[in-house]
């Protein structure tokens, strides 16, 4: 903290630090409050970067010599990574003074990141003050946050200086909250309202720079990259153009976005000479995503701080994936260039850096780019490594119907899925959680959006690490079909695919049956059904555990359930893939099969326990899949494939026998019970015949009779033979008569 006064380290909310002139009597609230903006450890009034080591680079007075000595102490003696300057002057002109040039020298030669308050001349000269005019420092304006986290309430404080220095350099570079600030003070109770001003906005950015260095220590000696990152991530457009404007520069700082740039490696730093150009970096951007890129380099002041030339004029161009020119930033007076555009197509955009003029020998260029979220494409499963610093960010542009966004973690990690309606890098007041799925290892996590009810547009899933590391799969799917009744498919989910979803119409009061039938492969799928309530917006978003019906058997087996609800509505049917590849159908039905059975072709009786069952069944929506049988209507066989005939053993013992059958359709809906009855008669009838022993005529009457206690006598076969040793010959067959006249020429016997 570089000021004329020193920090009061007796404040219990500040870590004890090192002071350049510890015995100096010039201690005040201003330096102490500035320090608190960075490092306060108060329970509620917390600093941006509480764990930093504080240095009080007190000049003891604002004389040029004393402040220059304080600068050298901070940069050279203490090797400070970040130097904050919440002081300024030189308001009568727009020209640089010695302090502008001195701090530029420190950035270029001692590699410290330097933040400077832009000044509070808005109601006077409005000039950005020294030393905020320097090329290499980060000048910070002051906006009023209105006491809320909502960006919509943010306005630039009218006192914040905006008029650029005579060099033509666009100042300030960024803005931060600096109005109505509560921070640490030099006396008990050690915190209080310390007022407003760019003095309190600048340490916000200094704290941000410190946190970026904590995330990647190589930034400690790359101030050009730090500046580019902070500008590229300043997404809070408070006034004017979102790219660059007079009062807020590139915008209000967004530390969340800055952290992501560092975490994702969306930045670079390099030393260049005249032979280094053109220098290119490639940004893979998704159609519809806003992309911002910044390059930053240094002026080259002399060691006497009497000159501060900008030796290089470096420009930034953007080329689309097809090679066409997209946009560019070609300023003359700035030591940075900034571009912002909306990607028209998905692909690699080239950031091409070229030198318009290069009068020195070597320059350091920091480059940073912001491209928002990882845009998702329906039905495209993508693989991602361990989330950087625990988080990954996605975007899905959702249309009508049900949608599912699913995460399958590796067995080595437990990752969780969160769904938001707005970007994590936009207005924090709008970043409300809609749904989350937080199952443990090896579970597929997913959330659903019912866009029959919810608004269409962008949704923002986030993946967070609970434990472990490893590559995971991420997939978004929109509804494949509007299901009513029928068989849908075949569908194939490969080993990389995670989830699918359908809209299924549920009629009020009618039970609907669902079955997932694998037909090939060895994947392990599960199935679940979800609904929402049009009167309750909170139900438009569902996490995995909020199902109304669920089936998740182990392995490649049929998954089945049914659902009956009070109202008519489109439900969401989800299928998730735990592992493997599978081709399958989804069968949906509200009507059970109908059918019939007859035994032995409709015979009244049989004399064998082995019979043939003749079967017929019909299901107009999904077809008949299986059947099962029972001899008593209670104990059933296992389900077996449907066929038109089947052999069946009747239970032993003469008497009436009943066979029962049920049919199942492909949605696992079971029919009513159908039956047929037959008489089993395995006992032969008894019979006898009567004829005269001696007759005196050529014809005579023969009578016979029979009995059967089971099925009765149906007919008689009457035979005769000649003599006692002759062969039996049919006389009457199949007759129902019990007597007849016989007139043979020879003696016969009759049976």
The two structure tokens encoding residue 54? 């504080």
Tell me if residue 321 falls in helix, strand or coil: coil
Are 338 and 243 in contact by the 8 Å Cβ rule? The answer is: yes
pLDDT band per the 50, 70, 90 thresholds, residue 568: very high
Q: What percent of the chain has pLDDT over 90?
A: 87
Both tokens of residue 576?
A: 């998730």
pLDDT tens-digit readout, 388-422: 887 899 999 999 999 999 999 999 999 999 999 99
| Residue 547 · residue 435 · CB < 8 Å | no
Using the predicted structure, report yes or no on whether residue 688 has a pLDDT greater than 90: no
The segment(s) of the chain belonging to CATH 2.60.40.10 are: 594-680
Task: Give the number of other CB atoms < 10 A from CB of residue 172.
Answer: 31
- Phi first, then psi, for residue 550 (nearest 5°) are -155, 140
CATH of domain 594-680: 2.60.40.10
3-state secondary structure of 482: strand
In which residue are the tokens 């109770």 written?
189
Sequence ranges of the chain with CATH classification 3.40.50.200: 2-264
How big is the CA angle at 465 (ends 262 and 457), to the nearest 5 degrees? Answer: 75
CB atoms within 10 A of CB 657: 21
Q: What is the pLDDT of residues 181-232, one digit of tens each?
A: 999 999 999 999 999 999 999 999 999 999 999 999 999 999 999 999 999 9
pLDDT-derived band at 745 (thresholds 50, 70, 90) equals low
Q: Is the pTM of this model over 0.85?
A: no
Return the pLDDT at 103.
Answer: 99
- What's the CA gap between 571 and 532, in Å, rounded? 7
pLDDT of residue 713: 85
Residue 309: name the closest of 113, 169, 162 by CA: 169
* Residue 656 banded pLDDT, cuts 50, 70, 90: very high
Note the residue count of the chain: 751
Say how far residue 337 (Cα) sits from the centre of its chain: 34
Whether residue 142 is predicted with pLDDT greater than 90 in this model: the reply is yes
Q: Domain 482-589: which topology? A: Jelly Rolls (2.60.120)
Beta-strand relationship, 113-117 and 138-144? parallel
The residues with which 314 forms a beta bridge, in sequence order, are 355
Band (pLDDT 50/70/90 cuts) for residue 685 is confident
- Tokens for 136? 């290499």
Instruction: Give the burial class of 134: count Cβ atoms within 10 A of its Cβ; 0-12 exposed, 13-18 middle, 19 or more buried.
Output: buried
Give dist(CA 391, CA 372) in Å, integer.
Answer: 14
| DSSP of 196-225 | -SHHHHHHHHHHHHHHHHHH-GGGGG-HHH
Of all residues in the chain, the percent with pLDDT exceeding 70 is: 99
Evaluate the CA torsion angle 593, 594, 599, 600 in order and state its sign.
negative
If you ran DSSP here, which 8-state letter would residue 13 be given?
A: T
CB pairs under 8 A, 24+ apart, for 325-333? 330/356, 331/170, 332/168, 333/167, 333/168, 333/169, 333/170
Mean pLDDT value across the chain: 95
DSSP for residue 389? G
Pair 406, 474: CB distance under 8 Å? yes
The structure tokens 């500046």 sit at 227
Q: Which residue has the tokens 């970026």?
A: 212
Task: List, in order, residues 6 or more apart from 567 with CB less than 8 Å away.
Answer: 508
- Any idea which architecture 2-264 has in CATH? 3-Layer(aba) Sandwich (3.40)
Q: How confident is the model at residue 167 (pLDDT cuts 50, 70, 90)?
A: confident
The candidate with the shortest Cα–Cα distance to 370, out of 332, 334, 342, 398, is 342
Q: What is the pLDDT of residue 673?
A: 98
Q: Where are the alpha helices (DSSP H) in 600-744?
A: none
- CA neighbor of 491 nearest in space, from 585, 574, 581, 555: 585
Every domain of the chain with CATH number 2.60.120.380 lies at: 482-589
CA–CA dist 40, 246 (Å, integer): 31
Q: What is the pLDDT of residues 368-379, one digit of tens each?
A: 999 989 899 999
């Amino acid at each position: 903290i570089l000021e004329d006064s020193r920090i009061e380290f007796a404040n219990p909310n500040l870590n004890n630090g090192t002071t350049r002139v510890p015995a100096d009597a010039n201690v005040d609230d201003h330096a102490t409050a500035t320090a608190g903006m960075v490092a306060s450890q108060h329970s509620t009034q917390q600093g941006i970067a509480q764990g930093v080591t504080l240095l009080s680079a007190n000049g003891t007075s604002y004389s040029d010599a004393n402040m220059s000595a304080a600068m050298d102490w901070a940069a050279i003696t203490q090797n400070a990574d970040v130097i904050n300057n919440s002081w300024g002057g030189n308001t009568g002109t727009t020209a640089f003074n010695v302090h502008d040039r001195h701090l530029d020298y420190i950035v270029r030669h001692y590699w410290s990141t330097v933040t400077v308050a832009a000044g509070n001349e808005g109601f006077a000269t409005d000039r950005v003050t020294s030393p905020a005019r320097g090329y290499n420092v980060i000048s910070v304006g002051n906006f009023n946050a209105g006491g809320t986290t909502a960006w919509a309430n943010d306005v630039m404080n009218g006192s914040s200086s905006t008029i650029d220095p005579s060099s033509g350099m666009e100042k300030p570079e960024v803005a931060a909250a600096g109005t109505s600030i509560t921070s640490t003070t030099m006396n008990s109770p050690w915190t209080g309202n310390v007022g407003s001003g760019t003095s309190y906005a600048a340490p916000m950015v200094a704290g941000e720079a410190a946190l970026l260095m904590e995330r990647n220590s190589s930034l400690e000696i790359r101030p050009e990259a730090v500046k580019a990152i902070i500008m590229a991530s300043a997404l809070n457009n408070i006034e004017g153009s979102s790219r660059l404007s007079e009062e807020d520069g590139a915008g209000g700082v967004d530390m969340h976005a800055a952290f992501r740039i560092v975490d994702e490696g969306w930045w670079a730093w390099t030393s260049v000479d005249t032979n280094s150009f053109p220098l290119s970096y490639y940004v893979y951007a998704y159609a519809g995503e806003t992309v911002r890129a910044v390059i930053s380099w240094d002026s080259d002041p002399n060691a006497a701080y009497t000159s501060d030339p900008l030796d290089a004029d470096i420009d930034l161009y953007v080329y689309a994936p097809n090679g066409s020119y997209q946009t560019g930033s070609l300023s003359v007076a700035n030591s940075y260039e900034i571009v912002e555009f909306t990607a028209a197509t998905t692909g690699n955009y080239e950031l091409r850096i070229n030198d318009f003029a290069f009068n020195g020998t070597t320059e350091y260029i920091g480059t940073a780019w912001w491209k928002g979220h990882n845009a998702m494409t329906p039905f495209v499963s993508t693989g991602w490594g361990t989330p950087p610093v625990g988080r990954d960010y996605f975007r899905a542009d959702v249309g009508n119907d049900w949608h599912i966004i699913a995460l399958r973690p590796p067995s080595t990690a437990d990752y969780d899925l969160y769904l938001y309606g707005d970007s994590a890098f936009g207005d924090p007041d709008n970043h409300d959680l809609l749904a989350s799925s937080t199952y443990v290892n090896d579970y597929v996590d997913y959330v659903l959006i019912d866009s029959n009810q919810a608004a269409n547009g962008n949704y923002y899933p986030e993946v967070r690490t609970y434990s472990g590391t490893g590559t995971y799969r991420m997939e978004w799917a929109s509804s494949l079909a509007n299901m009513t009744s029928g068989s849908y498919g075949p569908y194939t989910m490969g080993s990389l695919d995670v989830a699918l979803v359908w809209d299924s119409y549920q009629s009020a009061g009618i039970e609907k049956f669902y079955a997932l039938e694998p037909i090939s492969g060895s994947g392990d799928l599960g199935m679940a059904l979800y609904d929402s309530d049009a009167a309750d917006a909170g139900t438009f978003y569902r996490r995995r555990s909020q199902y109304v019906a669920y089936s998740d058997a182990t392995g490649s087996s049929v998954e089945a359930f049914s659902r009956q609800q009070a109202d008519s509505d489109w439900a969401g049917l989800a299928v998730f893939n735990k592992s493997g590849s599978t081709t399958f159908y989804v069968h949906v039905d509200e009507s059970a099969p109908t059918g019939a059975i007859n035994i032995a072709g409709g015979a009244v009786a049989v004399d064998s326990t082995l019979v043939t069952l003749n079967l017929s069944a019909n299901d107009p929506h999904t077809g008949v899949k299986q059947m099962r049988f029972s001899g008593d209507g209670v104990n059933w066989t296992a389900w077996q494939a449907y066929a038109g005939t089947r052999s069946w053993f009747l239970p032993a013992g003469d008497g009436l026998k009943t066979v029962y059958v049920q049919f199942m359709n492909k949605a696992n809906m079971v029919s009513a019970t159908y039956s047929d009855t037959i008489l089993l008669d395995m006992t032969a009838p008894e019979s006898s015949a009567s004829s005269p022993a001696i007759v005196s005529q050529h014809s005579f009457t023969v009578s016979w009779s029979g009995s059967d206690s089971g099925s009765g006598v149906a007919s008689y076969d009457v035979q005769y033979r000649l003599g006692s040793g002759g062969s039996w010959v049919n006389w009457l067959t199949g007759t129902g008569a019990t007597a007849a006249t016989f007139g043979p020429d020879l003696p016969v016997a009759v049976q």
